[in-house]
C-alpha cells in the first residue's frame, strides 16, 4: 500500500499539517499536488510552532523526500523565503526538496490582479481570496500563457514568455485596477535572480514519482485547502482555483489513478471557513464564538478570523464520496469539551424538502437550513488524551455516531496540536 492521499473534507484548515507531519515519520516521500502559498500548514513540536505555506510538511523529518508537484503554482519569492527560513533552523533541503519543472509560476502581476479584483468596489465578485495571485496564475495556466519553472532553464525562452505576457498584463492592470506593472527589465531580472536559487531543485517529478512507485516507496500525497474549495466540486465561485479532491493528486503529480492505494480524509469536529460564500451551519451566536476562541480559529496565512459552525455531515459525506475516502481522521475534538450540547447537521431543508446532497447553486445553498441532531456534551477534558478508552463515554459515542453517519471508520482522533496528542486506531499502511 505505498501511495496514500490525504484530503481535507471541509473548507480547509482541518488540521492536515499536523496529520501529514505525523504520518511523515512512516513514509519515504511527501508530495504536494495543488494550490500554492495560499495554504498554511501549522506544525507543532518541541513546544515550537512552524507554519509552512508551500513546502510539504514532511520537511521536518530529516530523511524524507519532499516533492512540489506540477499541479502546484509556485511564487518564487515565497518559496525562496520559506527555503531560507528552513535553512536558518538547520533543515537541509538539498537532495530532499524536488520541485516539478512543469509547475506554473505565480508572477507579481497575478497578485496585483487578485487583490485588484477583491478590492474592486463592487465591480467584481468578491471571493475573499488570500490575495496571493493563485486564481490569476491558474487562469494563465489554463489559458496557456503561464510561465513554468522549466522556462527558467533557458534565458532566451524565459524572456520570450514574459514578453508574450507583458503588454496584455500591463493594459489589464492599468485599465481595470489602476495599477502600474513594474518595468519589464525589473520583472525579468527578478526571475533570473530566483533562477539561481531554484534551478538545482527542479526535476521531472512525474518520472521521479513513477520510479519511486516502482521501487515500492511509501508516498504520502498532501492535499491543500479542502473539498469544498475544490474548483469543480466546491461552493463555486467561492472556491480556490485547483482540484483539492483526491483526483488532483493524479493530475498534480502525474500519478496514475490505479497507483493510489488509500485515501484518508481529515475532518474537524466542527466546521470553519474563511472568505466569502455559503456556509449552512455557520453560527452567529455564543457557540460560534466559543468554537472560534477555544479552537484558535485564525487563518494561518492571512490572520483572518475564521467563520465557525457545527459539524456538517452533508458536506462530509459528499467529500468522502468524491475522493473515495477509506478512513477518516478527526481533529480538534477537544474544542468541543466545554459544550453542554453539540450539534451535527444531517441534512438541508430547502423549498419544503429535506435533502442530503450538495446543491450546485450557491443561492440555493445560501438559503438551506440545516437539520440537526443533538448530542449531550461530555463536559470533561479530552485535550491530550492518547488512548481511546480514556476518552469520556459521551465523546466515544459522539465519534461512533459520526462514523456510523458517515459510514466510514476513523483511523486517528487528534486531541491537541502536538504530535503526541493523538489516538491512533489503526495502521497507516494496513498491508505493509
Ligand atoms: P485563493 O485560494 O487565495 O484564491 O482563495 C480562494 C478561497 O479559498 C478563499 O475563500 C480563501 O480564504 C480560501 N482558501 C485558500 N487557501 C486556504 C486554506 O489553506 N485554508 C482555508 N481556506 C483557504
Domain boundaries along the sequence of the chain: 3-91+204-424, 104-199
Mean pLDDT of 306-320: 98
pLDDT digits (tens, 9 = 90+) for 77-101: 999 999 999 999 889 999 999 999 9
In Å, what is the CA distance from 227 to each residue of 110, 241, 411? 24, 12, 19
Tell me the percentage of the chain whose pLDDT exceeds 70.
99
Q: What is the SS3 assignment for 401?
A: helix
432 pLDDT above the threshold of 70 = no
Q: What is the pLDDT of residue 98?
A: 98
Distance of CA 254 to the CA centre of its chain: 19
d(CA 50, ligand 1 centre) in Å: 19
Other CB atoms within a 10 A radius of the CB of residue 421 amount to: 18
Residue of 21, 28, 37, 41 marked active site: 41
* Total count of residues recorded for the chain: 432
**Which H/E stretch holds residue 59?**
none
Highest-scoring range by mean pLDDT, 21-30, 41-50, 154-163: 154-163
Other CB atoms within a 10 A radius of the CB of residue 115 amount to: 18
Q: How far apart are CA 348 and CA 371, in angstroms?
A: 6
Residue with the nearest Cα to atom 11 of ligand 1?
Answer: 129
d(CA 129, ligand 1 centre) in Å: 6
d(CA 225, ligand 1 centre) in Å: 7
More confident residue, 204 or 42: 204
Q: How far apart are CA 259 and CA 339, in angstroms?
A: 43
Question: Is the domain covering 104-199 a CATH 3.30.450.40 domain?
Answer: no
Which atom of ligand 1 lies nearest, measured to the CA of 13?
20
Domain covering 3-91+204-424: architecture: Alpha-Beta Complex (3.90)
Q: What is the pLDDT of residue 125?
A: 87
pLDDT digits (tens, 9 = 90+) for 364-408: 999 999 999 999 999 999 999 999 999 999 999 999 999 999 999
Task: Give the largest Cα separation in the chain, rounded.
Answer: 67
Tell me, yes or no, if 63 is annotated catalytic. Answer: no
Q: What is the pLDDT of residue 198?
A: 95
Instruction: Look up residue 148 and give its DSSP letter.
Output: B
- The cell for 352 is 419544503
Q: What is the pLDDT of residue 168?
A: 94
Please answer whether residues 248 and 231 qualify as being in contact, where contact means their C-beta atoms are separated by less than 8 angstroms: no
pLDDT digits (tens, 9 = 90+) for 174-214: 999 999 999 999 999 999 999 989 999 999 999 999 999 99
Closest of 17, 39, 14 to residue 30, by C-alpha: 17
Residue with the nearest Cα to atom 15 of ligand 1?
Answer: 38
Mean pLDDT of 222-241: 97
Which atom of ligand 1 lies nearest, measured to the CA of 275?
10
Tell me the percentage of the chain whose pLDDT exceeds 90.
85
Instruction: Look up residue 218 and give its DSSP letter.
Output: -
- The cell for 17 is 499539517
Helices (H) and strands (E) in the chain, counts: 12, 20
Q: What is the pLDDT of residue 1?
A: 58
Question: What residues does ligand 1 touch, defined as CB less than 6 Å away?
Answer: 11-13, 38-40, 127-130, 132, 134-135, 224-225, 229, 238, 240-241, 274-275
Q: How far apart are CA 427 and CA 431, in angstroms?
A: 9
In Å, what is the CA distance from 13 to each residue of 7, 333, 337, 364, 387? 11, 14, 20, 25, 24
- Whether residue 237 is preceded by a cis peptide bond, meaning omega within 30 degrees of 0, is yes
122 band by pLDDT with thresholds 50, 70 and 90 = confident
Q: How far apart are CA 61 and CA 27, in angstroms?
A: 10
d(CA 426, ligand 1 centre) in Å: 31
d(CA 252, ligand 1 centre) in Å: 18
Least confident range from 37-41, 234-238, 306-310: namely 37-41
Instruction: Look up residue 306 and give its DSSP letter.
Output: P
Mean pLDDT of 93-111: 97
Q: How far apart are CA 331 and CA 360, in angstroms?
A: 27
Predicted structure pTM score: 0.96
Mean pLDDT of 71-75: 98
Q: How far apart are CA 414 and CA 334, in angstroms?
A: 8
Helix, strand, coil content of the chain in percent (nearest 5):
35, 20, 40
- The DSSP line for 86-139 is HHHTT---TTTEEEETTPEEPPHHHHHHHHHHHTSTTSS------SSSHHHHHH
User: Over the chain, what is the mean pLDDT?
Assistant: 94
Which atom of ligand 1 lies nearest, measured to the CA of 39?
19
Pick from 12, 16, 20, 116 the residue to mutate for probing ligand 1's pocket: most ligand atoms within 8 Å of its CB: 12
Mean pLDDT of 251-258: 97
Tell me, yes or no, if 37 is annotated catalytic. Answer: no
Instruction: Report strand pairing: 262-268 vs 3-8.
Output: parallel
- The cell for 91 is 533543515
Give the angle 216-221-223 at the CA atoms, nearest 5°. 170
d(CA 237, ligand 1 centre) in Å: 12
Residue with the nearest Cα to atom 1 of ligand 1?
Answer: 129
Q: What is the pLDDT of residue 344?
A: 98
Amino acid at each position: 500500500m505505498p501511495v496514500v492521499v490525504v484530503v481535507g473534507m471541509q473548507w480547509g484548515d482541518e488540521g492536515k499539517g499536523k496529520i501529514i507531519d505525523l504520518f511523515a515519520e512512516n513514509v519515504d516521500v511527501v508530495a504536494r499536488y495543488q494550490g500554492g502559498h495560499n495554504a498554511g500548514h501549522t506544525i507543532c513540536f518541541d513546544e515550537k510552532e512552524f507554519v509552512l505555506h508551500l513546502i510539504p510538511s514532511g520537511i521536518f523529518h530529516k530523511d524524507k523526500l519532499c516533492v512540489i508537484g506540477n499541479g502546484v503554482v509556485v511564487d518564487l519569492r515565497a518559496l525562496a523565503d520559506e527555503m531560507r527560513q528552513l535553512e536558518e533552523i538547520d533543515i537541509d533541503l538539498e537532495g530532499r526538496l524536488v520541485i516539478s519543472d512543469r509547475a506554473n509560476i505565480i508572477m507579481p502581476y497575478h497578485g496585483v490582479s487578485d487583490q485588484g479584483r477583491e478590492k474592486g468596489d463592487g465591480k467584481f465578485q468578491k471571493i475573499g481570496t488570500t490575495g496571493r495571485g493563485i486564481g490569476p496564475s491558474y487562469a494563465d495556466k489554463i489559458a496557456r500563457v503561464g510561465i513554468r519553472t522549466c522556462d527558467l532553464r533557458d534565458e532566451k525562452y524565459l524572456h520570450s514568455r514574459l514578453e508574450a505576457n507583458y503588454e496584455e498584463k500591463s493594459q489589464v492592470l492599468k485599465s481595470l485596477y489602476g495599477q502600474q506593472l513594474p518595468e519589464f527589465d525589473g520583472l525579468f531580472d527578478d526571475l533570473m535572480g530566483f533562477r539561481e536559487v531554484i534551478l538545482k531543485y527542479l526535476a521531472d517529478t512525474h518520472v521521479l514519482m513513477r520510479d519511486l512507485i516502482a521501487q515500492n516507496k511509501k508516498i504520502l500525497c498532501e492535499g491543500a485547502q479542502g473539498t469544498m474549495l475544490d474548483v469543480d466540486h466546491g461552493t463555486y465561485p467561492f472556491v480556490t482555483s485547483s482540484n483539492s479532491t483526491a483526483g488532483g493528486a493524479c493530475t498534480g503529480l502525474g500519478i496514475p489513478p490505479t497507483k493510489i492505494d488509500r485515501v484518508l480524509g481529515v475532518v474537524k469536529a466542527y466546521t470553519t471557513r474563511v472568505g466569502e460564500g455559503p456556509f449552512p451551519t455557520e453560527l452567529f451566536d455564543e457557540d460560534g464564538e466559543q468554537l472560534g476562541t477555544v479552537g484558535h480559529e485564525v487563518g494561518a496565512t492571512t490572520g483572518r478570523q475564521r467563520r465557525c459552525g457545527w459539524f456538517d455531515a452533508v458536506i462530509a459525506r459528499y467529500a468522502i464520496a468524491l475522493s473515495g475516502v477509506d478512513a477518516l481522521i478527526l481533529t480538534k475534538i477537544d474544542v468541543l469539551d466545554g459544550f453542554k450540547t453539540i450539534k451535527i447537521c444531517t441534512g438541508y431543508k430547502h423549498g419544503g424538502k429535506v435533502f442530503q446532497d450538495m446543491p450546485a447553486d450557491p443561492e440555493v445553498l445560501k438559503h438551506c437550513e440545516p437539520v440537526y441532531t443533538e448530542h449531550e456534551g461530555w463536559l470533561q477534558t479530552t485535550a491530550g488524551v492518547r488512548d481511546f478508552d480514556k476518552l469520556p463515554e459521551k465523546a466515544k459515542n459522539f465519534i461512533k455516531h459520526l462514523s456510523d453517519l458517515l459510514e466510514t471508520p476513523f483511523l486517528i482522533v487528534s486531541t491537541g496540536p502536538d504530535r503526541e496528542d493523538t489516538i491512533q486506531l489503526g495502521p497507516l499502511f494496513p498491508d505493509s
